[in-house]
């Protein structure tokens, strides 16, 4: 019972490099999302998806790209890493797009951009 | 846009005592859901309790209970008989129902800033 799987757990990038954070869920969840966690700011929504082929921007989308070609996968791409993107990133999913189902979270990726 | 505020950056409690964590939110919606999540040092996000706005009865899960005041837009978490394992960061979160006008709000979850809870033996 894997749930939400995020890889890698840790990553260090140089400014300007690009990379993809992977997220996969095996629960056939409709809704998937990416959050970043910064001290004193809680978790902020980057992008989300309500199904394969459907994505939309959250609160802090700049510098990030997403796609959802399958129900299971929702990768997050950093196009040109900046020190301001140093953060902990969480992928989360829920069975339905509507509100009463709680999010299931991955274990997070700690990203450092130097 | 909805906002969630946790005004207590840090709280502490003695083992076996009771502690209450505060949360307020701002919304113009009548149909929504509220959650408390726990994040221990392992970084894992764990659902503690949830409350539906249309329910007047406060949710309870074992030692965890909430005081939901809809008119005041307040959603506090009470932890009874605190244990060392309760030490963690606690996040209050608001989720839209998504069934609003235009249907464009797809159940997005908005978090507060978090409260670090320390439990003293």
CA-to-CA distance for A106 and A52, rounded, in angstroms?
Answer: 19
Give the pLDDT confidence of A80-109 residue by residue, as tens digits: 999 999 999 999 999 887 767 889 999 999
Q: Is B109 within 8 Å of A88 when comparing Cβ atoms?
A: no
Distance from CA of B71 to the nearest CA of A (A): 20
Residue B72 burial class via C-beta count within 10 angstroms: exposed 0-12, middle 13-18, buried 19 and up: exposed
Pairing type for strands B60-61 and B24-26 reads: unpaired
Residue owning tokens 């159940």? B107
Distance from CA of B27 to the nearest CA of A (A): 14
Question: What mean pLDDT value characterizes chain B?
Answer: 91
Tell me the two tokens of residue B3.
Answer: 């906002």
pLDDT at position B105 is 53
Whether residue B60 contacts residue B42, with contact meaning beta carbons closer than 8 Å, is answered with: no
pLDDT at position B108 is 79
Please determine, for residue A61, whether its predicted confidence score (pLDDT) is greater than 60: yes
Give the pLDDT confidence of B57-116 residue by residue, as tens digits: 999 999 999 999 999 999 999 999 999 999 999 999 999 876 654 444 567 789 999 999
Q: Is A99 within 8 Å of B32 when comparing Cβ atoms?
A: yes
Closest CB from A41, A58, A88 relative to B108? A58
């Amino acid at each position: 019972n894997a749930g939400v799987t995020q890889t890698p757990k840790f990553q260090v990038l140089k400014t300007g490099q690009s990379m993809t954070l992977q997220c996969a869920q095996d629960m056939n969840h409709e809704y998937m999302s990416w959050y970043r966690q910064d001290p004193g700011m809680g978790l902020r929504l980057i992008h989300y998806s309500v199904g394969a082929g459907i994505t939309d921007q959250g609160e802090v989308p700049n510098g990030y790209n997403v796609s959802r070609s399958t129900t299971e996968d929702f990768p997050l791409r950093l196009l040109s890493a900046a020190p301001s993107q140093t953060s902990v990133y969480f992928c989360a999913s829920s069975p339905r797009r509507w509100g009463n189902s709680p999010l299931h979270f991955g274990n997070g990726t700690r990203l450092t951009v130097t | 846009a909805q906002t969630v505020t946790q005004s207590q950056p840090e709280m502490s409690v003695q083992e076996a005592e009771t502690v209450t964590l505060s949360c307020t939110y701002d919304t113009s919606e009548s149909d929504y859901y509220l959650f408390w999540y726990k994040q221990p040092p392992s970084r894992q996000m764990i659902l503690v309790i949830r409350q539906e706005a249309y329910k007047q009865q406060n949710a309870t899960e074992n030692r965890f209970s909430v005081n939901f005041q809809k008119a005041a837009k307040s959603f506090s978490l009470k932890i009874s008989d605190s244990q060392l394992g309760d030490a963690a960061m606690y996040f209050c979160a608001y989720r839209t129902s998504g069934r609003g006008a235009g249907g464009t709000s797809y159940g997005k979850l908005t978090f507060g800033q978090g409260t670090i809870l320390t439990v003293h033996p």
